[in-house]
Chain A
């Protein structure tokens, strides 16, 4: 009886869907939070997967990006899809700890992903088990405006970038010319975390960043103070009033040649180009080396897909996960979206200077790949940190108070 009913339901469902040809198709459900361009790329990927696996029907439910952050908390318990989009590292930890994401170490092992996705192993692992399939990331770095360089009479840096001293000296010249050396819009807080992370990783390296985000390092330690000392050198050249504007508003300042550098993720290139910049006057360089000998680490937040514990069809969902992890699927998806594939066997569009530069920067980052402050640190700690960074960039004289508050937060969240 039950079987009959289920069969009838499948039949009805199959009849309702014009695309499906077989009544006995198995369904994989996938909840995602894509903007239009990534959504089209994901749908193209599903078409490819279904062509290779005609017995499986993938049903993607797309959510509004902001709404998804709340929706996922409900649907994982109430009505779990087979797959759900989320983020790697600490961001997935609450769901893993509540037992809502399933262990997919077997998918990694069976498909050789430990090798092909080697750069994402750490961020996909919690307590020795894999819980995520990374399929895309994007580099962070310094985007610079060649026209602003011309206006200030400074020679624009090459792909190898400049030294920290040279960078700060250039900033002084820009300031004299009335141009903001580093612009940002931190009303949403996270953009300042990018600046802090880079100064932190260039001063003390990747492991320090990771330990700091995990609450293992005191904010009043000499290492942490050294980071703020370097950040303090940059502070006078950061756009005034950045605390009241969005990152897009700061992009406008950058596009209008009123600012020369923007520490940002590669997604901002689209915004810069919409504002009228081209490959001719927009440049990219890695963040300058601050302390010689510190292995260069980069930020590259990774987007991931997860198998849920409530999945109704985990077997086929794992097939789709393996497909998403594959080199070809990642090449295609990322080419359509303009981001970097995580699979080392994938290729990048050689015509896009920013993607090729990013790919080169990440593949030579011997120090490590960080996820970004707010994904490496736990949510509450991340927020407290970002408020501290923002405050320091507005009121550098309040350093002692900022450090004391951050330290108090750390001791509360991570009792020693």
Chain B
């Protein structure tokens, strides 16, 4: 009995308002610490080691500490440079999903019979798995029997095998990635368009606004929350676009379509890899790049909250 009383008395000494929030936060904080913070710390630590992923028979870690050796090597690694540039291409071109998605959303935002069907057809690519998207586009581009290859062969006499061409391959994969991404952005804008105030449109129309001016000065400002979310998901989607590269080219031909996330996998976990430290160093760099964007978004959200 005494044991039950003691904690209650102790708790009463604490301000309930200080303790309760932490109690409610505890499960979330615990998960965050174990599954997010701890792996981040571990990856950063590992990036200072040279380790092939093996423990010896007694279960001891077999890596050796090499300081910033992995990072120094990254600086002179042409494959890493290539991956960085490709990542930049992904970032820039992936943002095309925004205007195209907006255009389709506006186009579909009308009341015609069967519009729901059209909307769902446009949304379809986002529903299928990225792996399937990758396979479909790989077949579409395939030399000898792919639709695009046959089409270019018919038109120019010489087929273009996009995935075999080191200069085109990254653009080919980005096009495959854009397909579902446009659908995603479209659905974000469609919901956004539902919330556009009809009286403002009416008022603008009375004032003589039309077409582009209407879109730019009246509709788009009201779509700002949708645009904000669309930019976030597109940027993050571009940075972690691992699956398409893995399915369509394995980073080839001769590493021309590598991006950071795939290069990290290749170095750390693939058949010819198992350089855990080097892979971790790439992961840390990717994390740093993502942090730039993520902290930007968080800062903006925090500022918006304060203004309210």
Residues of A contacting B254 with CB < 8 Å? 243, 387-388, 390-391, 394
Interface of B is mostly: loop
Interface string of A289-323 (1 = CB under 8 A from B): 00000000000000000000110000000000000
Interface string of A375-406 (1 = CB under 8 A from B): 00001101100011011001100000000010
Given contacts A187-B250, A390-B253, contact A242 B55 (CB under 8 A): no
Residues of A contacting B253 with CB < 8 Å? 186-187, 243-244, 390-391, 394
Task: List the one stretch of A14-22, A93-101, A141-149, A271-279 in contact with chain B.
Answer: A93-101
Decide if B272 touches A245 in the complex (CB within 8 Å): no
Decide if B252 touches A241 in the complex (CB within 8 Å): no
- B265 to chain A minimum Cβ distance, whole angstroms, is 12
Q: Which residue of A lies closest to B146 (CB)?
A: A244
- B293 to chain A minimum Cβ distance, whole angstroms, is 31
Residues of A contacting B78 with CB < 8 Å? 405
* Residue in contact with B274 in the complex, picked from A77, A94, A309, A412, CB distance below 8 Å: A94
- B273 to chain A minimum Cβ distance, whole angstroms, is 7
Interface string of A223-253 (1 = CB under 8 A from B): 0000000000000000011111100010001
Decide if B166 touches A394 in the complex (CB within 8 Å): yes
Residues of B contacting A416 with CB < 8 Å? none
Interface string of B137-176 (1 = CB under 8 A from A): 0000111100000000000000001111010000000000
Residues of A contacting B73 with CB < 8 Å? 412
Would you list which residues of chain B between 231 and 288 have a CB under 8 Å from chain A? 249-250, 252-255, 269, 271-275
Decide if B52 touches A187 in the complex (CB within 8 Å): no
Q: What is the total number of residues of chain B having a CB less than 8 Å from a CB of chain A?
A: 32
Which residue, B164, B254, B269, has most C-beta atoms of chain A within 10 A? B254
Q: Which residue of B lies closest to A242 (CB)?
A: B164
A188 within 8 A of B: yes
Given contacts A99-B57, A391-B254, A412-B73, contact A244 B275 (CB under 8 A): no
A390 vs B143: C-alpha distance in the bound complex, in angstroms? 17
B53 within 8 A of A: yes
- A81 to chain B minimum Cβ distance, whole angstroms, is 14
Given contacts A189-B252, A243-B254, A390-B253, contact A98 B272 (CB under 8 A): no
B66 within 8 A of A: no
- B178 to chain A minimum Cβ distance, whole angstroms, is 20
A16 vs B62: C-alpha distance in the bound complex, in angstroms? 39
Decide if A187 touches B57 in the complex (CB within 8 Å): no
Residues of B contacting A187 with CB < 8 Å? 249-250, 252-253
- B274 to chain A minimum Cβ distance, whole angstroms, is 7
A216 within 8 A of B: no
Interface string of B43-87 (1 = CB under 8 A from A): 000000000111111010010000000000100101000000000
Decide if B143 touches A100 in the complex (CB within 8 Å): no
Q: Which residue of B lies closest to A102 (CB)?
A: B57
A69 within 8 A of B: yes
A183 vs B255: C-alpha distance in the bound complex, in angstroms? 21
Decide if A382 touches B272 in the complex (CB within 8 Å): yes
Decide if B164 touches A394 in the complex (CB within 8 Å): yes
* Residue in contact with A98 in the complex, picked from B56, B162, B249, CB distance below 8 Å: B56
Residues of B contacting A95 with CB < 8 Å? 54
Residues of B contacting A241 with CB < 8 Å? 143-144, 161, 164
A99 vs B78: C-alpha distance in the bound complex, in angstroms? 34
Decide if A77 touches B59 in the complex (CB within 8 Å): yes
Residues of B contacting A26 with CB < 8 Å? none
Q: Which residue of A lies closest to B59 (CB)?
A: A77
Q: Which residue of B lies closest to A374 (CB)?
A: B272
A73 vs B276: C-alpha distance in the bound complex, in angstroms? 13
* Residue in contact with B56 in the complex, picked from A100, A244, A249, A374, CB distance below 8 Å: A100
Residues of A contacting B164 with CB < 8 Å? 240-245, 394
Q: Which residue of B lies closest to A377 (CB)?
A: B272
Given contacts A187-B252, A412-B73, contact A77 B272 (CB under 8 A): no
Decide if B52 touches A77 in the complex (CB within 8 Å): no
Decide if B55 touches A77 in the complex (CB within 8 Å): yes
A379 vs B266: C-alpha distance in the bound complex, in angstroms? 11
A405 vs B161: C-alpha distance in the bound complex, in angstroms? 26
Residues of A contacting B272 with CB < 8 Å? 374, 379-380, 382-383
Q: Which residue of A lies closest to B52 (CB)?
A: A94
- B3 to chain A minimum Cβ distance, whole angstroms, is 38
Which residue, B52, B143, B249, B250, has most C-beta atoms of chain A within 10 A? B143
A390 vs B255: C-alpha distance in the bound complex, in angstroms? 10
Residues of B contacting A221 with CB < 8 Å? none
Decide if B271 touches A100 in the complex (CB within 8 Å): no
Residues of B contacting A390 with CB < 8 Å? 252-254
A391 vs B254: C-alpha distance in the bound complex, in angstroms? 6
Q: Which residues of B line the A interface, CB within 8 A? A: 52-57, 59, 62, 73, 76, 78, 141-144, 161-164, 166, 249-250, 252-255, 269, 271-275
Extra A-B contacts (5), CB below 8 Å, given A98-B52, A391-B253: A94-B54, A242-B164, A379-B272, A405-B78, A408-B76
Query: Which 8 pairs across A and B sit closest by C-beta, in order of nearness?
Result: A243-B253, A244-B164, A383-B272, A241-B143, A241-B161, A241-B164, A244-B163, A391-B254
Can you give 17 A-B contacts (C-beta < 8 A)?
A70-B269, A73-B274, A77-B57, A99-B56, A240-B161, A240-B164, A241-B144, A243-B164, A244-B142, A244-B143, A244-B162, A374-B272, A388-B254, A394-B164, A394-B166, A395-B166, A412-B73
